[in-house]
C-alpha cells in the first residue's frame, strides 16, 4: 500500500508542475504580445523533450442481498510512463522510464498485486547517415514488491530489487522520429541478479542454486512504435528480444507490451494494457496478462 501511495504522490506532483508550466506559458505569451523596445534575436533552442503519462485507473464492484452471487472487490492500477529525450547536432539520448503497480482486494481474500514493474531503457546514439546511428544502449528491469508462487501463495519467489535484469551493449540504431525507432545490438552482455534467499533450495530466474547472479551473452533487439489509431485513440508498442549464445541458442526470450489510451477529456481516459513474455529460464510457456480500466490520466509535456 505504501508503494501505491508513493506512486500517486508522484503523479500529483507531476500534474502540479504541469499546471504551473501551463500558467507560466500563458503569462509568457501575454507578455510577448506587449510592445517591446527591443527584440532578443538569440533564441535558445530546446535540446530536451519530456513527455510523461501519469495515470490512476481501476474498477470496483459491490453486492448487497444479490441472490445470484458475487463478491465485492476493488482493483487499482497506477502507472508512470516517461520519455526524456535529448538531441543536439549528431548526438541523441533517448530515455524511457516505466513504473507501475496495481492491486486487487475483495472481501474474501487478502490484498494481491496485479501489476508490478520498474523499467529504464536508454539509448545513446551518434548519427552517421540520415535516420541511422551508431548506438550504445542500457536496459534495467526490476520490481517494487514481493511476488508469490502462483502454485503456492505462501511461498515468496521475489521481492523489491530481486530479480534485477541488466543489459548493455553497442549497436545500430534506426530512428524515424520519437514515435518510431529500432535498436539492434549483436553483442549484448546480460546479467540476472537475485537475492541469495531465493537460490538456497534451487534455481531462481535462471540463477543456479547457491548463486546470486547469472551471465548471458547474445544479440538483442528493441523496437518502439506509437501511433494514433483515430482521434483521441493512441496505441503504444514496445518489443524486446534476446538470444543467449552461451545456453539454448535456439530459444528466444521476448517481451511485448501494448498500451491503448482512449481519451475522454484532458483528465479522464480508458486504458487497455497487454503484455506477453517468454523466458525459458523462468517457465517454458508463454506468459500473458491484460487489464482494462477507466480513471485519471494526465500528460506532461515540456
Write out the DSSP string of 15-48: HHHHHHHHHHHHHHHHHHTS--S-----PPPP-E
Sign of CA dihedral 271, 11, 2, 84: positive
Residues whose CB falls within 8 Å of the CB of residue 269, separated by 6 or more in sequence, listed in order? 55, 57, 261, 262, 263, 294, 295, 297
Assess contact for 144 and 118: CB atoms under 8 A.
Answer: yes
**CA-angle at 13, arms to 9 and 18, nearest 5°:** 145
Assess contact for 162 and 193: CB atoms under 8 A.
Answer: yes
* pLDDT value of residue 34: 43
Alpha carbon separation from 211 to 109, 234, 288 (Å, rounded): 35, 43, 28
Q: What is the pTM of this model?
A: 0.84
**Residue that is written with C-alpha cell 500529483 in the block:** 12
* pLDDT value of residue 2: 55
Q: Which of 145, 173, 172, 169 is nearest to 159 (CA)?
A: 145
| Nine cell digits for residue 248 | 539454448
Cis peptide before 163 (omega within 30 of 0): yes
Q: Measure CA of the first residue to CA of the last residue in the chain; give whole Å.
A: 31
Assess contact for 275 and 257: CB atoms under 8 A.
Answer: yes
* pLDDT one digit per residue (tens) for the chain, 302 residues: 555 555 555 555 555 445 444 444 444 444 444 444 444 445 567 899 999 999 999 888 888 888 887 888 899 999 999 999 999 999 999 999 999 999 999 877 888 899 999 999 999 999 999 999 999 999 999 999 999 988 888 889 999 999 999 999 999 999 999 999 999 999 999 999 999 999 998 999 999 999 999 999 999 999 999 999 999 999 999 999 999 999 888 889 999 999 999 999 989 999 999 999 999 988 899 999 999 989 998 888 87
Assess contact for 263 and 295: CB atoms under 8 A.
Answer: no
| Nine cell digits for residue 66 | 444479490
* pLDDT value of residue 29: 46
* pLDDT value of residue 10: 57
Q: How far apart are CA 291 and CA 109, in angstroms?
A: 20
Q: What is the DSSP letter of 161?
A: T
Helix (H) or strand (E) holding 131, with range, is: none
| Nine cell digits for residue 130 | 540520415
Sign of CA dihedral 89, 90, 96, 97: negative
Sign of CA dihedral 202, 140, 227, 296: positive
Amino acid at each position: 500500500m505504501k508503494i501505491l501511495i508513493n506512486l500517486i504522490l508522484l503523479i500529483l506532483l507531476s500534474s502540479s508542475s504541469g499546471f504551473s508550466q501551463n500558467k507560466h506559458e500563458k503569462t509568457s505569451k501575454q507578455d510577448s504580445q506587449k510592445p517591446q523596445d527591443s527584440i532578443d534575436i538569440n533564441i535558445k533552442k530546446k535540446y530536451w523533450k519530456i513527455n510523461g503519462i501519469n495515470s490512476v485507473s481501476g474498477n470496483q464492484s459491490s453486492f448487497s442481498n444479490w441472490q445470484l452471487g458475487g463478491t465485492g472487490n476493488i482493483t487499482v492500477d497506477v502507472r508512470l510512463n516517461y520519455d526524456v529525450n535529448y538531441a543536439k547536432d549528431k548526438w541523441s539520448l533517448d530515455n524511457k522510464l516505466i513504473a507501475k503497480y496495481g492491486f486487487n482486494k475483495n472481501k474474501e481474500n487478502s490484498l494481491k498485486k496485479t501489476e508490478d514493474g520498474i523499467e529504464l531503457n536508454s539509448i545513446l546514439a551518434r548519427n552517421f547517415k540520415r535516420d541511422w546511428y551508431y548506438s550504445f544502449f542500457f536496459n534495467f528491469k526490476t520490481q517494487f514488491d514481493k511476488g508469490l508462487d502462483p502454485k503456492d501463495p505462501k511461498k515468496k519467489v521475489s521481492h523489491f530489487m530481486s530479480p534485477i535484469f541488466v543489459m548493455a551493449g553497442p549497436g545500430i540504431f534506426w530512428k524515424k522520429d520519437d514515435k518510431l525507432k529500432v535498436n539492434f545490438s549483436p553483442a549484448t552482455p546480460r546479467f540476472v541478479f537475485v537475492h541469495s534467499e531465493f537460490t538456497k533450495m534451487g534455481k531462481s530466474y535462471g540463477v543456479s542454486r547457491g548463486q546470486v547472479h547469472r551471465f548471458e551473452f547474445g544479440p538483442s533487439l528493441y523496437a518502439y512504435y506509437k501511433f494514433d489509431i483515430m482521434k483521441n485513440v493512441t496505441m503504444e508498442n514496445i518489443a524486446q528480444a534476446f538470444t543467449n549464445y552461451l545456453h539454448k541458442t535456439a530459444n528466444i526470450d521476448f517481451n511485448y507490451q501494448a498500451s491503448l489510451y482512449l481519451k475522454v477529456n484532458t483528465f479522464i481516459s480508458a486504458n487497455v494494457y497487454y503484455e506477453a513474455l517468454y523466458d525459458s529460464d523462468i517457465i517454458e510457456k508463454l506468459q500473458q496478462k491484460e487489464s482494462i480500466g477507466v480513471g485519471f490520466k494526465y500528460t506532461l509535456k515540456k
